[in-house]
Amino acid sequence: MSKAQGSRTDKEQVDFLMNLSQQRQSQGKEIYEASCVKCHKLHSPDQFNSIDWVKIMKKMGPKAHLDEIQYNKISLYLVQNAKH
């Protein structure tokens, strides 16, 4: 059984997922900072709630010519750090 199919302990799986999430979030932050600043000032993720960020990304993602992976990584970063 591969590690992806459940051979990790529960704690190992949680740690793996948290690390994966942090990596993707970090990548999303880097892409956000590099892409979005080309056209306007950057907004702090906590400036908007998660629903607002989804709406903003639906509008701005195509304008920024983001591919699906970039779009999802930026969206993950923004939503996970949004105002609650």
Confirm whether 3 is domain-assigned: no
**Domain annotation covers residue 34:** yes
CA 69, distance to chain mean position in Å, is: 10
Within a domain: 5: no
Residues 6+ apart with CB under 8 A from 63: 39
Range of the domain at 15: 10-80
Q: What is the pLDDT of residue 1?
A: 47
Residue 2 in any domain: the answer is no
pTM: 0.79
Answer whether residue 51 is part of any domain: yes
Asked if residue 29 belongs to a domain, the reply is yes
Domain for residue 1, yes or no?
no
User: For every one of its 84 residues, what pLDDT tens digit does the chain have, with 9 covering 90 and above?
Assistant: 455 557 889 889 878 877 888 888 899 999 999 999 999 999 999 999 999 999 999 999 999 999 999 998 999 999 999 998
What angle, rounded to 10 degrees, do the helices at 50-63 and 68-80 form? 150
Number of domains in the chain: 1
Is there a domain that residue 27 lies in? yes
